[in-house]
Amino acid sequence: MNDPKFYDKEKPTWCPGCGDYGVLMALKKAASELNLDPANTVLVTGIGCSSKMSSYFYSYGLHGIHGRALALATGVKLANPQLTVIAAGGDGDGYAIGMEHFMHTAKRNIDITYVIMDNQIYGLTKGQFSPTSNEGFVTNTSPFGNIETPVNGRTVNHDFTDKQKAFEVLVNEQKFPLGLIYKEENKKTYETQALKHPDKPMALQKYKAPKEYASLLDIFV
């Protein structure tokens, strides 16, 4: 098993006392327990303070655009299903512009791990209220208090049957400081259904194009 410090990369530049430090340390400990190989691990992040994590964790990293971490992570997993793919971001990145990707990724049951750091505010852009901010929360963009009902990401789940069990795992094993972990054992993952040969990278798979596409392939490929 690797030491968690094995996954150190650049020195984080988050503000002193930021909770993202704890999440990064938890990720390193989890990677250590699982003995993840950095050469076969990809951390995909969106935009925001927490999304800088891909620069601080020793693996392949992809720092994408706002709200698109799960779309990119899906592409990585489909391109090479043998990789361990992790996506990470904040509540604004995941529950605002990225909410549609969040819902459909859960529905598709793609074999990736998604870490959301929910601090109920847009931290990088200096303190606007976020989708998870409580009603009445005073920020730069809600000086008289937030009037919107907060989003509860734990209810956006494609399978409610295992929600209680997931919560019990979270409380009893105490392996993660925040979040909800669930897994549907009897449902096939998306990549095993979408790919002709899910046991090897898409780039190494050969597909025979329909005859009507042959002329186009001759022009563009």
CATH of the domain at 122: 3.40.50
Taking only the tens place, the pLDDT of each residue in 61-82 is 999 888 899 999 999 999 999 9
Identify the three-state secondary structure at position 42: strand
Say what the pTM is: 0.77
Specify the number of domains making up the chain: 1
Distances (CA, A) of 75 to 12, 42, 199, 202: 27, 12, 16, 10
Instruction: Domain of residue 155: give its range.
Output: 4-220
Taking only the tens place, the pLDDT of each residue in 85-108 is 999 998 888 888 888 888 888 888
Which range is least confidently modeled, 70-84, 170-184, 189-203?
170-184
Give me the phi and psi of 57, to 5 degrees please.
Answer: -115, 130
